[in-house]
Amino acid sequence: MAPSIKVGDTLPQGTFGYIPWSDALKDNLACGVPSKLNTDEWKGKKVVLFSVPGAFTPTCHTNHLPPYLQKYDEFKAKGVDVIAVVAANDLFVMSGWGRFEGLEDKILTLSDTDATWSASLGLSLDLSGHGLGTRTARYALIIDDLVVKYVEVEAGPGVTVSGAEAVLAKL
């Protein structure tokens, strides 16, 4: 898959649903307050955005997200202001996944409903054959002041170019 977004491009505007971290979410009976995050909020910031086809799915849950949390301090030491994971799951599922993984406020869990924003970048994936519908592809972006500095999408199963190690090496 060749993304339509390229290094040097300005990031297209997008709005994601998400539930900001709060101490109330420590109680698994709390759902949090739905909110919106617009990519314009990343103006002047260095952002690492990685995408997974689905929260709680095997590769995403065990191999893709955890290394980003484990290497959080390394990302911060390289000047990253925001780390975010995006998937086509709804914002409540993304929030629940983030709580399960212990992300708290370290990694934002963003909902790209129906992979609409990812599709605008050429980064959606049709997993209808697996009963999952249209999803976000497995990819990673480094964004600096809304300019794309790194964009890589996985060519097949597994995590390589969109993983924490690969992205850290490009910062």
Q: Which residues are catalytic?
A: 60
Tell me, what DSSP letter sits at residue 29? Answer: T
Amino acid in the structure at residue 48: V
Residues 6+ apart with CB under 8 A from 167: 48, 50, 140, 142, 150
Tell me the C-alpha distance between 21 and 29, whole Å.
14
- Strand-pairing partners, residue 153, are 139
- Strand-pairing partners, residue 108, are 84
SS3 7: coil
Tell me, what DSSP letter sits at residue 10? Answer: B
Q: The tokens 């990673």 sit on which residue?
A: 140
